[in-house]
Homo-oligomer: A and B are copies of this chain.
Amino acid sequence: MTPAAEDTIQLVHEPIDTVALAASVRAPEDGAVATFDGCARNHSRGRATLYLEYEAYEAMALAKMQEICIELHSRFAIHGVAMVHRLGRLEIGETSVFIAVSAPHRAPALDACRFAIDTLKRTVPIWKKEYFADGADWADGELPPLPAETPSRKAAS
């Protein structure tokens, strides 16, 4: 299959062009494209949400998204991946994250799309703050997997 070089991994500060991304992963050899669109909803924990703000540890987030992408290709018989997260202020209904995965057959496309969003939500350093009529709060998040106590030997960059 075509290598991951064509994959799209981005953090953006403007609206995400979901149509272009879904089209970008698609090739004649593909029989399936699965997408996931995460969008800003108008309520959270019983309160009406006015808008959201996302921030990221951008360099690390991009590295983690790239790791997910590599893992997708090693785990699933897929072709192309697009994975884009938006940062900054988002109005209700706007897309915060969009993932598209193409594959010759449907099961890997669907499995990989799901694995991608589940893993992104667990491991990519991005934070959401929810703004309500009466205040704002950081969303409950997920604790990334704790590394083993053996120090990593990765050199300073």
Contact = CB atoms under 8 A, between A and B. Distances in A.
Main secondary structure of the interface of A (DSSP, over half): mixed
B92 A28 contact: yes
Nearest to A35: B35
**Copies held by the complex:** 2
Interface residues of A, number: 29
A28 B133 CA distance: 16
A42 interface: yes
Contacts of A29: 41-43
Interface in A132-147: none
Interface stretch (A8-16, A68-76, A106-114): A106-114
A114 B110 CA distance: 7
A70 to B, nearest CB: 22
Contact of A106 (B18, B30, B36): B36
